[in-house]
Amino acid sequence: MSMLQEFKEFAVKGNVMDLAVGVIIGGAFGKITTSLVDDVIMPVISAVIGDVDFSNMLIPLAEVPEGTAMTYAALKEAGVPVLAYGNFITILIN
């Protein structure tokens, strides 16, 4: 049985209470996950690595013009291609 067909049967049955409970549990789980990452995981990573902001962890893939700051925004503005693995780490942790 396909997922779409199962959803149609669910919607036709009118199990609104089940749907409401699912939405409430999903919302609560989202808050729990956010708190776990922000309050437990990130401080430990910060203590080990020394910086919670991973957004400027990158590798320039071309020569950086003299006087350009080694930040993601400055390098992108200067037209330097970058491997921004810090953004990936941040999204992975979140």
Give the predicted TM-score (pTM) of the model.
0.45
Asked if residue 60 and residue 34 are part of one domain, the reply reads no
pLDDT at 4: 81
- C-alpha torsion angle, residues 59, 61, 66, 69 (rounded to 10): -30
Range of the domain at 84: 53-93
| 10-residue mean pLDDT series, the chain (94 residues) | 77 72 86 85 80 78 88 88 85 74
pLDDT at 1: 63
Asked if residue 60 and residue 74 are part of one domain, the reply reads yes
* Total of domains in the chain: 2
Asked if residue 29 and residue 17 are part of one domain, the reply reads yes
